[in-house]
Amino acid sequence: MSRLRSTRTEWGGENAGSTPAPISAAKRLRSILGGSAGNLVEWFDWYAYSAFALYFAPVFFPKADSTAQLLNTAAIFAVGFVMRPIGGWLMGTYADRQGRKAGLTLSVVLMCAGALMIALCPPFARIGALAPALLVVARMLQGISLGGEYGASAVYLSEMAGERHRGFWSSFQYVTLISGQLVSLGLLLVLQLWLTKEQMAAWGWRIPFAIGALLALAVWRIRRGLAETESFHVAEAKGVARGSVADLFGTHRRETALVLALTAGGTVAFYAYSIYMQKFLANTAGFSKETASTIMALALLAYTCLQPLAGALSDNVGRKPLMAGFGLFGVALTVPVFTALEHVRSPAAAFGLVMILLTLLTGYTAINAIVKAELFPPEVRATGVALPYAISNAIFGGTAEYVALWFKQAGNERGFYWYVTGLILVSLIVYLRMRDTKRTSRIAAEPSPP
């Protein structure tokens, strides 16, 4: 026990092991905003890989055509997702046993290490096959980090928020998640303006990873000063085992299966509509890299603003109507919108079509974190949110870009549109059959700590 306490103190701050006085409204708000800011930096580090892949792919895979190079980088992107279930298990268990704050702090240290490795990694021309190998290791570290970050931050924001506005505040997880992607795209646009294409290809792509590593260090200091959630202290006071994977897949197997199934359609849609879309606009629709980046930056900015609105709406009408709406419209519109984007030539028209997909996706992204958190009791909540989500995300989200490029290389790009539609349909069935977690929330049922 003393070793566990010292570990928690090292990563979570000097008073991480003690039960504080009740949290004031002002400190609760500061903690929510502080946790959200850290989440933004983590996702910036993660998405910088995808945003700058068009430039660094030839550095690590020089002997291939452009589609094959992107296919190789997409494969490594997927490797990061394979590590996310491991991170969800390790970091989720750590957050359930040592505290949400401790889990958040450790995750950002791992993300920093991965970003720094990519920023400093020599090219293939200098060290041969060791270059892509180091890239794989860096993404593995980031995958472990993000596997734990999602669960810890989702639970932290959900537990910190008051019952009346839990949907609104928890939506900031995706506000910061998307903002991380948006900042990475914004930096890409700035660098495209300041640097020549030759400079971007030679060394400019390293800049975002260096910035990400520095920001992660700053977040580490911020997170050491966060307040611990009351729900974690409730779990501590129970005196029961916390973060047990056996308990998760035993006592809570129904809730675990729900998280796996409801995530599948949402995560593949998110990566298809937002992450892969930038490459789709450049590689299929025929826009320049700069125009594709601009379209997606503007679309993601509008999409970010929709998240709190949808979260607040869920506090009034419930979580289920929003998720069912995403499922219904996702099944109906994915194929038509992607097909239309193949032939669009106007950036404004492309923006409008992308926004159709992102608007319907908001019904999932704004509230999926709170829905998962509300399914589990506090002693397994971080593990319950992180591990099954990471498994489903690795299988369907992390491979989305690779599957899309595989279909394209095989000459059947539209097969990917139907693949996304089919997975959304599977999740829609789950949305329609599950109870509304706003009315059955395990967070709302918790007593106040003594």
DSSP 206-224: GHHHHHHHHHHHHHHHHHH
**364 pLDDT above the threshold of 90:** yes
Most confident range, picked from 87-91, 304-308, 409-413:
304-308
pLDDT on residue 163: 73
**127 pLDDT above the threshold of 80:** yes
In sequence order, what are the residues at sequence separation of 6 or more whose Cβ sits closer than 8 angstroms to the Cβ of residue 283? Answer: 66, 67, 70, 408
- The pLDDT tens digits for 34-46 are 777 777 888 888 8
% of the chain residues with pLDDT over 70: 87
Mean of pLDDT over the chain: 83
pLDDT on residue 334: 97
Of residues 434, 315, 402, the one with CA closest to residue 367:
315
Which position has the higher pLDDT, 152 or 404? Answer: 404
Count, residues in the chain: 450
pLDDT on residue 432: 94
Average pLDDT on 271-276 reads: 90
Of 71-85, 102-116, 254-268, 360-374, the poorest mean pLDDT is in: 71-85
In sequence order, what are the residues at sequence separation of 6 or more whose Cβ sits closer than 8 angstroms to the Cβ of residue 216? Answer: 41, 42, 45, 108, 109, 111, 112, 115
Domain boundaries along the sequence of the chain? 25-433
pTM for this prediction: 0.79
- The pLDDT tens digits for 215-230 are 888 888 878 777 777 7
Of 93-97, 338-342, 386-390, the poorest mean pLDDT is in: 93-97
- The pLDDT tens digits for 166-188 are 888 888 888 888 888 788 878 88
pLDDT on residue 83: 85
CATH superfamily ID and name for 25-433:
MFS general substrate transporter like domains (1.20.1250.20)
The whole-angstrom separation of Cα 320 and Cα 55 is 41
**306 pLDDT above the threshold of 90:** yes
Residue 365 pLDDT grade (very low, low, confident, very high; cuts 50, 70, 90): very high
Average pLDDT on 394-404 reads: 86
The whole-angstrom separation of Cα 368 and Cα 388 is 13
% of the chain residues with pLDDT over 90: 29
CB 446: neighbour CB atoms within 10 A?
15
- Give the ranges where 130-171 is alpha helix by DSSP (H): 130-160, 166-170
**18 pLDDT above the threshold of 50:** no
**436 pLDDT above the threshold of 50:** yes
